[in-house]
Chain A
């Protein structure tokens, strides 16, 4: 076995992560660095002891790490990866939000893109009212403001 190392060849080092609900995870560096946050930590050498992640719960972190693992696998084909992603992101709204927030917080570009795309697909074609209902958003416009915005965008509304 040749000793040339690819980035994926594990240095054997693992990162310890702790979710906000105190679940701990051990993950190989090569997998963890999918997150820019961890990438900087590893480069700066700050990776002793478990890294606390107060913004991500255990269930979500487990999912995210699973995604990172798959995407760090050098043997997987693009086709397989696309299929995996399609299945991965086909989750109910609550899980999707958690993934979106986690990907944003941990700065995992590809996962964020995937989650954003999924949310975008959910809101395409919906009326403002439907979007508000889907995401529990409060309409914080004053009646005058709303009328103004409605006039500006009248061309996009309607049947």
Chain B
């Protein structure tokens, strides 16, 4: 007996709404009934982050018609594929497609940058001024002119993230045409501000292939290339329990060797679910 032929469509939608975005899409293939139930607003309203309306309404980039014109399913995929700018335009929000969890990126202007205000050390430029760079989501990116003391960090509040989720923090950057001193390892860390302990990991900002003497270390982080042409390197991870008010700090440092470094271009820090495809 095919129970689904006896259940009202709303009931089937109810069941699908309790699975996950990728399950819901897979279920579209089961039968026509499932296909229509799986596309319903009931399902995607449940799969969208509970506060998506509020986030969209506070966005500085999306039009207010975004949420009224699209079906909930289309809205879901729109937010997955097109990050929206929030805050004062220096942060972006998107949805992690597979899981439906919230993802954010802190633009360079949202980050703490030691010596960032001094133009002999750091330069801030817009997309128009740097046509050769990968496209920036934000109005400005940070160019390292030269520093000895490299220290960049970002903070994010756990209450804006999806609960009960493991998140990874990723520095999104690229290396300019002229660069210097970036072959030395840097230190990366991710920790809750209320924790005393701080574990730094070693990392190399240059990709293995671009270094003449690639280091032998196995437990250092190396970058990977992204589809959007930026590079990213994992700074660390944390688990966001169902708690409200904690702050996570993500840091990049080179403050030991203190050699002169230049040519690093920072797009921002991305915080997205880890290990969820």
Contact between B23 and A135, CB atoms less than 8 A apart: no
A52 at the interface (CB under 8 A from B): no
Of A113, A117, A128, the residue contacting B30 (CB under 8 A) is A128
A100 at the interface (CB under 8 A from B): yes
Bound-state CA distance A145–B16 (Å) is: 21
**Known contacts A104-B8, A123-B23, A153-B29; is A138 also within 8 Å of B2 by CB?**
yes
**Known contacts A123-B19, A124-B20; is A137 also within 8 Å of B11 by CB?**
no
Q: Which of B1-55 contact A (CB under 8 A)?
A: 1-8, 11, 14-23, 25-35
B26's nearest neighbour on chain A, judged by CB, is A156
**Known contacts A100-B3, A124-B23; is A116 also within 8 Å of B14 by CB?**
yes
Bound-state CA distance A104–B15 (Å) is: 12
Contact between A100 and B27, CB atoms less than 8 A apart: no
B175 CB to nearest chain A CB (Å): 31
B137 at the interface (CB under 8 A from A): no
Q: Which of A85-134 contact B (CB under 8 A)?
A: 97, 100-101, 104, 112-113, 116-117, 119-121, 123-128, 131-132
Contact between A152 and B28, CB atoms less than 8 A apart: yes
B224 at the interface (CB under 8 A from A): no
Bound-state CA distance A143–B165 (Å) is: 39
Number of chain A residues close to chain B: CB under 8 A: 35
B1's nearest neighbour on chain A, judged by CB, is A136
**Known contacts A101-B3, A119-B15, A120-B16; is A153 also within 8 Å of B26 by CB?**
yes
A46 at the interface (CB under 8 A from B): no
**Known contacts A135-B4, A137-B4; is A127 also within 8 Å of B26 by CB?**
yes
Of B3, B26, B32, the residue contacting A135 (CB under 8 A) is B3
B42 CB to nearest chain A CB (Å): 11
Residues of A close to B6: CB separation below 8 A: 101
Residues of B close to A119: CB separation below 8 A: 15
A113's nearest neighbour on chain B, judged by CB, is B14
Of B3, B4, B20, B31, the residue contacting A141 (CB under 8 A) is B31
A1 at the interface (CB under 8 A from B): no
B80's nearest neighbour on chain A, judged by CB, is A155
**Known contacts A100-B7, A104-B8, A116-B11; is A136 also within 8 Å of B28 by CB?**
no
Bound-state CA distance A83–B22 (Å) is: 29
* Residues of B bordering A, CB below 8 Å: 1-8, 11, 14-23, 25-35, 97-98
* Residues of A bordering B, CB below 8 Å: 97, 100-101, 104, 112-113, 116-117, 119-121, 123-128, 131-132, 135-141, 145-146, 149-150, 152-153, 155-157
A-B contact pairs, 20 of them (CB 8 A): A97-B3, A101-B6, A113-B14, A120-B16, A120-B18, A123-B27, A124-B20, A124-B23, A127-B26, A128-B26, A128-B27, A138-B2, A139-B30, A139-B31, A140-B33, A141-B32, A149-B28, A152-B28, A157-B26, A157-B29
Q: Can you list the 5 inter-chain pairs with the closest CB atoms, starting with the nearest?
A: A120-B18, A156-B25, A128-B29, A153-B25, A156-B22
